[in-house]
A and B are shown apart, each in its own frame.
Chain A
Amino acid sequence: MSSIVVRNLRKSYGSLVALDGISFEVGRGETFALIGPNGAGKTTALEIVEGHRRRDGGEVLVAGLDPGLRSPRLYRRIGIVLQETALEPELTVKETLRAWSRCYPQALSVDRVLDHVALRRAGRQRVATLAAGHRRRLELALAVSGDPEVLVLDEPTAGLDPEARRDLWRVVAALNGEGRTILLSSADMEEVEALAGRLAILHDGRIVASGQPHELQQALGPEPTVELYLGGEALPRLFPQTLRAIARFERGWVRLKCRDPGPVAYELLLWAVRNRHDLSSLSIARPTLEALYRQATRRDEPETAC
């Protein structure tokens, strides 16, 4: 069963089409990411899911409820982290959580929420003095304080240093581990790889690719590469006839591009053992999600002359 259903969602700002009929579903307990460059329509899509923005067309259901109706029932079931920090700097962490937990009829205890986001030690600290990573964790804590089944996170780690990002990823993964459904937007492929079970690449208001990371890797290519360092002996004429057609030789390396790398790697291995080559450099390299993302978001851009 899907926690979030988005079908043919459309939204324009005047003549500017922000979302051009996007569709996706997020299953219960799943982490789904919308990724794309700035201006792709990610925040618009998330804000429609949150009920903060009206849609022009299409259907959206969150926990079975239409967010366009802005029903309190919906807000009992979702927690939201906005793209920009929305905190009162004068308060302490605990005061902030206490104040916001009063917005919910059945809020989690402040200490439990602080434990959730590993922020207990900063409980008495003023928000104004928190590091950026801790502020973001506090935002996440506020989103969790109503014990929601769905979390919507808009670029949760934007602007954080690498360590703070990884810390927050751990928190998000743990929240997902409790069975909460997570919809997040990001412009960072590393984040999406770390957190999301499935993703959709959004570009110019349209979804240009979606699926699990490995599905996208298979669907979009480029193909995986089997590679081995042979030193100065990497001569094509010494290479097995069956592999020669897909092999490329450069500076002592042989690289073989293929859709299915297993049999190719096996054949290369046999040949290398037979010919007593060092196997320590043998590897199968898959294209990174980052490369796929760049490929997908550039697909329909006009090619420029060099």
Chain B
Amino acid sequence: MLKRLLFATVHQLRLFLRRPAAMFFVIVMPVLLLVIFTAIFGNAEMAGQGITTAQLYTPTLAVFGAVLAAYTYLAIATATARDQGVLKRLRGTPLPPWIDIAGRIAAAGLIAIAAVVAVMACGMLLYSVKLLPEKLPAAILSLLVGISCFAALGMAVAALCRTAATAQAVANATILPVAFISDVFVRPDGRILPWIDRIADIFPLKHLSRAFSDGFKPLLAGNGFAFAGDATTYAIGQHLLVMALWGLGGAVIAFAFFRWETQRDGSRQ
């Protein structure tokens, strides 16, 4: 069974590598954004933050790349496969269908990690972004929980949207506005209104962004393995809880509403 899961994952990775638009969107775009943001804002140390622009943006854009893979790409690719009839055909084979879904999720997770590595490598090579070894385990754990959470939400979008076109619209329309209010694109000195900040607190992207990027802030105390802390402490527990709840909700919706066929397959012929 593990071998079949491995094949399903490799199959999905191969498909991803054959989709230049998806590769650009997921891997190249976050790197480009890092280069652009650093060019616009310069790479000097930000007032009161103790970090450079690149040290701030590299982890947040890495998170953005991970979310594009685990959420947006997974939702669109799965809905496209359903539109193409590939999922229906798969159900006409002895392969347990969950293996294909697990393969899709595993591949999306690996692509998400690749997106993170690409942005982090770019930040480290071009802008001297530093890893903080004592905080790295918590940051990595946050990333893994976040990827799982967004993968579940991606599957929920694929389940709720009947066509790939709808899934694409919904995935993009949900992630981009949330990204703007979730400390991904806007600098902390950007003075986000408190009520917008509170809305952002509801969604998992801000929690992922915080839990991961705080692991790259040397002024924060602690290694991150605490449930909650003040503004001077690195603590991922609360963020993980929010992400876990969203992930659980996404998984329940995906499980309840997922269809292997398009609606037109239900028409009378």
Q: Name A residues whose Cβ lies closer than 8 Å to a Cβ of B.
A: 13, 16, 18, 38-39, 41-44, 50-52, 70, 72-73, 75-76, 78, 80, 82-88, 90-91, 95, 99-100, 102-105, 142, 146
Q: Name B residues whose Cβ lies closer than 8 Å to a Cβ of A.
A: 4, 7, 11, 14-15, 18-19, 81, 84-86, 88-96, 261, 265-269
Choice from B94, B265, B268 contacting A75 with Cβ under 8 Å: B94
Q: Quick one: closest A residue to B86, CB to CB?
A: A86
The 10 closest A-B pairs by CB, nearest first: A86-B85, A43-B269, A90-B18, A103-B93, A103-B95, A72-B94, A80-B92, A86-B89, A75-B94, A18-B268
Task: Provide the residues of chain A in CB contact with B84, threshold 8 Å.
Answer: 85-88
Q: Quick one: closest B residue to A42, CB to CB?
A: B269
B269 near A91 with CB under 8 A, answer no
Choice from A75, A99, A102 contacting B92 with Cβ under 8 Å: A75
Given contacts A13-B268, A44-B268, contact A102 B14 (CB under 8 A): no
Choice from A16, A52, A70, A75 contacting B261 with Cβ under 8 Å: A52
B269 near A13 with CB under 8 A, answer no
Given contacts A39-B269, A43-B269, contact A50 B92 (CB under 8 A): yes
Given contacts A102-B4, A104-B94, contact A41 B269 (CB under 8 A): yes
Would you give 12 A-B contacts (Cβ < 8 Å), ordered by A?
A39-B269, A41-B268, A50-B92, A52-B88, A85-B85, A88-B15, A88-B81, A103-B93, A103-B94, A104-B95, A142-B89, A146-B94
B94 near A102 with CB under 8 A, answer no
A80-B15 Cα distance, complex, nearest whole Å: 23
Task: Provide the residues of chain A in CB contact with B81, threshold 8 Å.
Answer: 88
CB distance from B143 to the nearest CB of A (A): 28
A162-B113 Cα distance, complex, nearest whole Å: 50
B94 near A99 with CB under 8 A, answer no
Of residues A16, A41, A44, A84, which shows the largest number of chain B Cβ atoms within 10 Å of its Cβ? Answer: A84
A215-B93 Cα distance, complex, nearest whole Å: 36
A88 near B86 with CB under 8 A, answer yes
Q: Quick one: closest B residue to A14, CB to CB?
A: B268
CB distance from B15 to the nearest CB of A (A): 6
A99 near B266 with CB under 8 A, answer no
A91 near B15 with CB under 8 A, answer yes
CB distance from A271 to the nearest CB of B (A): 53
Q: Quick one: closest A residue to B85, CB to CB?
A: A86
CB distance from B23 to the nearest CB of A (A): 12
A103-B89 Cα distance, complex, nearest whole Å: 11
B268 near A39 with CB under 8 A, answer yes
A279-B41 Cα distance, complex, nearest whole Å: 98
